[in-house]
């Protein structure tokens, strides 16, 4: 069956990016491949398998559902669920050798009542005001955990709030200081753990954040965490070459001519000034192609940019192809990626719709076929 729209995922690019980060962290530091949220839109099962085969030591996911999916496909590598697991679902996590993040006393008490081996990572709150406990709560929390011999504290970690979106990393350094205080408390309580703090930006910029393990997320897919991270990396002379792994393609559904003065699409938001040839593209916001690209986005046809005209609909949108002489239906269209000498990258789309590259790729509908190259 031929696809109407599909993603092409370059597995070699993923492997390349993993090798690049391995050069930065060395062989003694463990590498977690973060594959949550359908591997940032790239397809969780294939990317997880690819990452493990390429040397990733751990896999990071958000939900128990994601972790169980990976276990059902035969993946035996350590998996950490970084999001919340409902108390009634904890037994399923423990039965499948899945590590989980803890920060609630209720969760600890529930795990203890199950009397099953549980591997947990304690999340330390150092500045994001998200899930986690404060360093001054850690000693009491560890004492609570120690009451159950079946609970094994496997890791302690935190997450940076402002290491990506700025070239001023003073807040991140304060967080790092708080985390080091937490590690001292863990040592006093005789807890030996895997310590981890580093996201993609931290991995690249600050070796002192590597500790025992790093969490490689957006960088694994070939994207910089932010323009500021790219600038900082250049300033710090961090040499890393990231290769984007994703190309999004579709095909033209119709070619038609519309007369001067005609309105295009819903809401009559755009009116053309001259006779215009347009192509109908069978992708819309249901597919994850953002509606805010209406009248400002571009696609590639025959290696040329074609402007979106009118509003993006749920399942289709229109582009101006007046400058293309021989376009027929089912011609290949690139929404993200390269075609001939032209490219539309994720950063360009993110800038146009005032968001981040993470959101652009993660929101691509998981039902769209992924083709692994």
User: DSSP per residue over 89-148, as a string?
Assistant: GHHHHHHTT-EEEE--HHHHHHHHHHTS-EEEEEEB-SSS-SS-B-GGGHHHHHHHHHT-
Helices and strands of the chain, counted as H and E runs: 12, 20
Mean pLDDT for 142-154 is 94
The residue from 193, 209, 235 where one domain ends is 235
Q: Is 6 a domain residue?
A: no
pLDDT above 90: residue 89: yes
Window from 119-123, 231-235, 282-286 with minimum mean pLDDT: 231-235
Task: Check if 358 is active-site.
Answer: no
Residue where a domain terminates, one of 235, 269, 304: 235
Assess whether 182 and 124 both reside in one domain: yes
CATH number of 179's domain: 3.20.20.10
Same domain, residue pair 222 and 250: no
Is residue 214 in some structural domain? yes
Instruction: Collect all residues with Cβ–Cβ distance below 8 Å to 242 and sequence separation of at least 6.
Output: 17, 20, 219, 222, 223, 224
Average pLDDT over residues 298-321: 98
Give yes or no: residues 257 and 130 share one domain.
no
pLDDT over 90 percentage in the chain: 97
Q: Provide the pLDDT confidence category of residue 191 given band limits of 50, 70 and 90.
A: confident
pLDDT band at 1 (very low <50, low <70, confident <90, very high): confident
Q: Tens of pLDDT along 90-147?
A: 999 999 999 999 999 999 999 999 999 999 999 999 999 999 999 999 999 999 999 9
Question: Do 196 and 297 fall into the same domain?
Answer: no
Q: Is residue 113 part of a domain?
A: yes
Nearest to 297 by CA among 254, 360, 246: 360
Mean pLDDT of 237-245: 95
Enumerate the β-bridge partners of residue 271: 263
Domain range for 136: 11-235
What digits encode the pLDDT tens for the residues 2-41?
A: 999 999 999 999 999 999 999 999 999 999 999 999 999 9
pLDDT for position 168:
92
62 and 150 together in one domain? yes
Residue 63 lies in a domain: yes
Domain count, the chain: 2
**DSSP-assigned letter for residue 200:** H
Give the HSE-up count for residue 320: Cα atoms under 13 Å, Cβ half-sphere: 24
Closest CA to 194 of 232, 138, 156, 164: 156
Q: Is residue 322 part of a domain?
A: yes
Q: Which of 235, 260, 280 is the last residue of a domain?
A: 235
Alpha-carbon 298 to chain mean position: 23
Q: Pick the catalytic residue from 11, 30, 36, 123.
A: 36
116 and 210 share one domain:
yes
Q: Which long-range contacts (CB under 8 A, 24 or more apart) does 184-187 make?
A: 185/135, 185/138, 185/139, 185/142, 186/138, 186/142, 186/153, 186/156
Give me the half-sphere count of Cα atoms (radius 13 Å) on the Cβ side of residue 343: 10
* CATH number for the domain that contains residue 259: 2.40.37.10
Cα four-point dihedral sign 291, 294, 297, 298: positive
d(CA 324, CA 116): 65
Same domain as 187, residue 158 = yes
Please give the mean pLDDT across all residues of the chain. Answer: 96
Report yes or no: 121 and 101 within 8 Å, Cβ to Cβ: yes
Please check whether residues 228 and 109 belong to one and the same domain: yes
Examine the domain organization and report whether 226 and 258 are in the same domain. Answer: no
C-alpha to C-alpha distance for 72 and 74, rounded to whole angstroms? 5
Give the per-residue pLDDT at 127: 94
312, 306, 315: which is closest to 277 by C-alpha? 306
In the predicted structure, residue 338 carries a pLDDT above the cut 90: yes
Contact residues for 83 (Cβ-Cβ < 8 A; gap 6+): 36, 61, 62, 63, 101
- Per annotation, catalytic residue among 134, 143, 256, 266: 266
- Compute the average pLDDT of residues 350-361: 98
Q: Are residues 203 and 250 in the same domain?
A: no
Residues in CB range of 270: below 8 A, 6 or more apart: 263, 264, 295, 309, 310, 311
State the Cα–Cα distance between residues 20 and 25, nearest whole angstrom.
9
pLDDT above 90 for 192: no
- Assign 190 a pLDDT band (cuts: 50, 70, 90): confident
What integer is the mean pLDDT of 185-211?
Answer: 94
Same domain, 132 and 194: yes
Q: Could you confirm whether 266 is annotated as catalytic?
A: yes
Tell me how far apart the alpha carbons of residues 265 and 358 are, in angstroms, rounded to a whole number. 29
Residues 111 and 220 in one domain: yes
> How far is the C-alpha of 315 from the C-alpha of 48, rounded, in Å?
30
């Amino acid at each position: 069956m031929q696809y109407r729209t599909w993603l092409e995922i370059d597995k070699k690019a993923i492997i390349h990016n993993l090798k690049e980060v391995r050069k930065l962290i060395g062989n003694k530091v463990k590498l977690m491949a973060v594959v949550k949220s359908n591997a940032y839109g790239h397809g969780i099962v294939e990317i997880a398998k690819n990452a493990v085969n390429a040397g990733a030591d751990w896999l990071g996911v958000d939900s128990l559902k994601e972790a169980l999916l990976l276990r059902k496909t035969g993946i035996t590598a350590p998996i950490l669920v970084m999001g919340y697991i409902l108390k009634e679902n904890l037994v399923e996590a423990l039965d499948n050798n899945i590590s989980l993040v803890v920060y609630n006393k209720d969760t600890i008490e529930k795990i203890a009542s199950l009397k099953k081996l549980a591997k947990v990572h304690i999340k330390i709150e150092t500045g994001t005001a998200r899930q986690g406990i404060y360093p001054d709560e850690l000693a009491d929390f560890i004492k609570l955990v120690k009451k159950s011999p079946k609970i094994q504290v496997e890791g302690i970690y935190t997450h940076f709030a402002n290491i990506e979106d700025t070239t001023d990393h003073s807040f991140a350094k304060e967080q790092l200081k708080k985390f080091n205080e937490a590690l001292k408390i863990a040592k006093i309580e005789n807890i030996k753990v895997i310590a981890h703090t580093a996201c993609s930006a931290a991995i690249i910029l600050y070796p002192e954040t590597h500790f025992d393990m790093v969490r490689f997320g957006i960088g694994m897919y070939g994207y910089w965490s932010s323009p500021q991270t790219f600038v900082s990396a250049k300033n710090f002379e961090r040499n890393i070459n990231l290769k984007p792994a994703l190309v999004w393609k579709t095909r033209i559904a119709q070619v038609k001519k519309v007369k001067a003065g005609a309105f295009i699409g819903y809401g009559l938001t755009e009116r053309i000034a001259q006779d215009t040839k347009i192509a109908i593209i069978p992708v819309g916001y249901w597919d994850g192609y953002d509606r805010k690209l209406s009248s400002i986005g571009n696609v590639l046809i025959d290696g040329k940019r074609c402007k979106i005209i009118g509003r993006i609909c749920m399942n289709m949108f229109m582009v101006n192809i007046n400058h293309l002489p021989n376009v027929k239906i089912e011609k290949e269209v690139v929404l993200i990626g390269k075609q001939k000498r032209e490219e539309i990258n994720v950063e360009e789309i993110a800038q146009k719709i005032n968001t981040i590259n993470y959101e652009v790729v993660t929101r691509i509908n998981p039902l769209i076929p992924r083709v692994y190259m």
